[in-house]
């Protein structure tokens, strides 16, 4: 549990400093946990981040529009887009997260 809280704090801090992509979160999960199911663990962490005033979106034309949907809808979108991708996400794929306060 302590490791999970440390990972959450680090990711929240990073989201307050910058945009954090799905590939970065996967990398952190792999480095921090001995997990066989990286996908499920990553989705759980993202779901918890969304409950901490972290928002999801995707860059378009160098702008970051926050997805205007519930956290449950956001998680479904991430799951389906990731599955449709059919490979390990790379930077820029599927979703970016950032702190709500950083949006202007």
Looking at the predicted structure, is the pLDDT value of residue 37 above 90? no
> CA–CA separation, 78 vs 72, rounded Å?
10
Q: What is the pTM of this model?
A: 0.91
Helix axes 38-50, 2-17, angle to 10 degrees: 60
Q: Please give the average per-residue pLDDT across 67-95, as a whole number.
A: 96
Q: Is pLDDT at 74 greater than 60 in this prediction? A: yes
Domains, in order of start, for the chain: 2-99 (1.10.3510.10)
Separation between Cα atoms, residue 52 and residue 8, nearest integer Å: 10
């Amino acid at each position: 549990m302590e490791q999970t809280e440390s990972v959450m704090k680090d990711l929240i801090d990073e989201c307050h400093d910058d945009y954090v992509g799905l590939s970065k979160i996967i990398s952190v999960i792999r480095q921090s946990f001995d997990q066989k199911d990286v996908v499920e663990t990553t989705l759980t962490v993202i779901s918890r981040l969304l409950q901490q005033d972290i928002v999801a979106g995707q860059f378009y034309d160098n702008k970051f529009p926050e997805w205007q949907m519930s956290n449950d809808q956001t998680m479904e979108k991430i799951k389906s887009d990731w599955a449709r991708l059919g490979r390990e996400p790379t930077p820029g794929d599927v979703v970016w997260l950032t702190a709500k306060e950083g949006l202007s």
